[in-house]
Structure 1
């Protein structure tokens, strides 16, 4: 394209078109683009530019200074300049913000939050994560409560690492949010607060809590209303000790009150309770189990518990973001013992649609898994964790199945046979492909 024509094209765009372009840019890019000329500057003050406001302090610093921003002594000055520009836009356009995402790291960004609280009263989706340095400021807590009380149209709220350690204090969400709020995620947040205010949220469809925050009366009540999705989250910031929050009879009653409730467990801690019946109760309506642990799972303990979820379990993911945990050596006997339990899990989970394991597994066992459940939409197996061998000769299988496995467990025919069984193109995944796919889909809370 001719350079002069290109320049004229961008300079003559109408404000509405410019505003649409600006709305898709990051905050820093919006500020930079607003300086192109007077038309772009004027367009940057249109309300539609600011429907979505995402202030992620680490990302912003990275955009400003690159990978070495933490060591750059100019960091504070440049960030303060950006904050000043943003406060001008918030003062003029903050009332148009509908979706707000904040990740606050340093006290200098608190004046931005103060400005947002005073101006923004029409927020629908609110996401907040803060550093401990922010939590120590008394005014932040007051402003957070003020923000929630001033935004009665909130429909989606996600709060992480916000815990003021104030025992039995009421939550900032209450009766005034009951008509609109449908999704609430409180991860490692308000851990000592009273959850009684959540009783008002009768239109809540999705709730995320940490294990120690599970409350029988609350879940019974919400399940009898609109609650259909319960995320139970334990990640690296979650309180380590777990004591039984709900017993099996309580889970049975919760299911009686809300037969359509489904539980999704996101377990990113290495503690043993995540694989034992102190947590995994038979009557929990578990639909997905996502393990993100450095250690290998204890399948002899875990598989019998998971067989209780044969009517509900659709997703079982076991992965680790520490690549070292995939390098653990396994003998033939160990592989046989582990994959027997994995096969048992698949055989007792007819609803299973997604499976990922980080164990070393034989091609024979993989074929049997696909043969047993041909409805698997996603089967994630690492190429480097597959041993091309048949270790399942001692299984009680029909001659047809045994013959199929024996004929196709070699490396040359394996992927093609798996594709035939699953009814789609399938292949073992390389490590980068595996990690990228798993992280994109299943690392929401980790």
Structure 2
């Protein structure tokens, strides 16, 4: 074949098969050789999954890709800048095209913010932008033959449309939907409205394995619906976002969690507390010994509930795998949770957590003081299995002798010469604390937008 001009005469099925083995860059280079190869570039089998990036510098590329593949692609992630009108419009246009795609199986939104900028298509049009998003999602739910994954991207206003979207999912996707993310991020966690969540529609999704939901709607009725034995598939992961906690919110009994675990033995629970002082203060009202807590995240909650950390160490040691706590500092002065200790001989709660939780692999504590010996202790206790150990240098305290031999003082950000080496030896890789430059602006400035410090983590929960 190399000696003859027969490459252009290859059957299309062979050309497509060749292209399927190439990376996207090599595929584009190969199809620039001739028109026949170029015509095979957008064969449906080559575009089962697309990650649209709707940003200023890539909007035209996303538009072209949507025009060519929007009606047959199966797995779609739409990443867009939700604070720029033109990008929001293009995202809506992509969703409208997907509404005609009967083969769509997975859809995940990845906005740059939990809020979407209001846009008007016509000067006389006043329909809310989130209503347009909801309309597109409704059409997608109705027309897709086997939708398996749906994520609203933590968008607060879209979460408020759950009372419309859930009945449609129960009607059209009850035998296919496996993953549903309706959890949100609240712009004002201290004041927001609640909707009537149609719990029975959630229960009718008998193949549902992963559910993301706000704590406002976590009730005994909801959990008991997943505890029945007639479900086709078991619940594997429950992701709960905690914001404000309404006075009188039902406290889930331990027996309810026990029933859930008995019927769903592999279920894992992720708790995300987001700007939730209520959640941090009342964490012991949320936690129960039978709750299979796997991941605990606290983002800008203004305090650490030491009693709750100790409770987790005692009752959830066989489940817990990660702890991530991030908070802002005033004038770069780390916050302290030591003040709640009964006496100076009390062990650091996170050291006890690392000792008892044998599956702990990720630990992040940003914005709070931690003694250098305690950081070393955590590294030694979990060793090489500790894949992530994130503590800022400016938050690490060390004891320094004062001029008076009977007193001692604390210094921040100054550790001994062998501190990094000791931790590196324990975790089996080179380790350094987080520098000031690496800290997110919201950690250093309480007035900065904190959303960018955690939104990517929350959206990663919702990826497929």
**Shorter-chain TM-score above 0.5:** yes
Partner of 1:251: 257
Displacement after TM superposition at 1:287 (Å): 1.1
**C-alpha distance in 2 between matches for 1:252 and 1:270:** 26
**C-alpha distance in 2 between matches for 1:377 and 1:145:** 41
What is the aligned counterpart of 2:139 among 119, 122, 146?
A: 146
Kindly indicate whether the alpha-carbon contact (under 8 Å) linking 2:99 and 2:136 is maintained by their aligned counterparts in 1: yes
Partner of 1:24: 24
Relative to total residues, which structure has the larger helix share, 1 or 2? Answer: 1
Kindly indicate whether the alpha-carbon contact (under 8 Å) linking 2:334 and 2:395 is maintained by their aligned counterparts in 1: no
Kindly indicate whether the alpha-carbon contact (under 8 Å) linking 1:299 and 1:342 is maintained by their aligned counterparts in 2: no
The CA deviation string for residues 250-308 of structure 1, in whole angstroms up to 9 with x for no partner, is: 3333334334322111222142323422323343221110122163x324343233233
Partner of 2:5: none
Partner of 2:107: 126
**C-alpha distance in 2 between matches for 1:209 and 1:203:** 17
**C-alpha distance in 1 between matches for 2:135 and 2:456:** 35
What is the aligned counterpart of 2:170 among 168, 174, 187?
A: 174
**C-alpha distance in 2 between matches for 1:166 and 1:286:** 25
Kindly indicate whether the alpha-carbon contact (under 8 Å) linking 2:98 and 2:104 is maintained by their aligned counterparts in 1: no
**C-alpha distance in 1 between matches for 2:379 and 2:33:** 57
Answer yes or no: is 1:98 the counterpart of 2:74: yes
Kindly indicate whether the alpha-carbon contact (under 8 Å) linking 1:125 and 1:157 is maintained by their aligned counterparts in 2: yes
Kindly indicate whether the alpha-carbon contact (under 8 Å) linking 1:229 and 1:262 is maintained by their aligned counterparts in 2: yes
When residues 55 and 370 of structure 1 are mapped into structure 2, their CA distance, relative to the original with a 3 A threshold, is closer
Q: Give ranges in structure 2 of 5+ residues lacking alignment.
A: 1-7, 83-87, 120-126, 186-193, 402-413, 442-452
What is the aligned counterpart of 2:374 among 365, 370, 393?
A: 365
Partner of 1:136: 128
Answer yes or no: is 1:207 the counterpart of 2:211: yes
What is the aligned counterpart of 2:294 among 287, 291, 303?
A: 287
When residues 390 and 214 of structure 1 are mapped into structure 2, their CA distance, relative to the original with a 3 A threshold, is farther
Kindly indicate whether the alpha-carbon contact (under 8 Å) linking 2:226 and 2:260 is maintained by their aligned counterparts in 1: no
Kindly indicate whether the alpha-carbon contact (under 8 Å) linking 1:354 and 1:379 is maintained by their aligned counterparts in 2: yes
Q: Give ranges in structure 1 of 5+ residues lacking alignment.
A: 1-10, 65-78, 392-408
Q: What is the correspondence of 1:338-377 to structure 2 with a 5 Å cutoff?
A: 340-358=348-366, 359-374=368-383, 375-377=385-387
When residues 88 and 378 of structure 1 are mapped into structure 2, their CA distance, relative to the original with a 3 A threshold, is closer
What is the aligned counterpart of 1:263 among 266, 269, 273?
A: 269
**What is the RMSD computed on CA atoms of the aligned residues?**
4.5
TM-score (norm 1): 0.69
What is the aligned counterpart of 2:183 among 181, 187, 193?
A: 187
Displacement after TM superposition at 1:312 (Å): 1.9
Relative contact order: is structure 1 or structure 2 higher (C-alpha 8 Å, sep ≥ 6)? Answer: 2
**C-alpha distance in 2 between matches for 1:372 and 1:87:** 50
**C-alpha distance in 2 between matches for 1:15 and 1:169:** 41
Q: What is the correspondence of 1:149-160 to structure 2 with a 5 Å cutoff?
A: 149-160=142-153
Displacement after TM superposition at 1:206 (Å): 1.6
Partner of 1:63: 58
**C-alpha distance in 2 between matches for 1:342 and 1:201:** 39
TM-score (norm 2): 0.67
Partner of 2:405: none
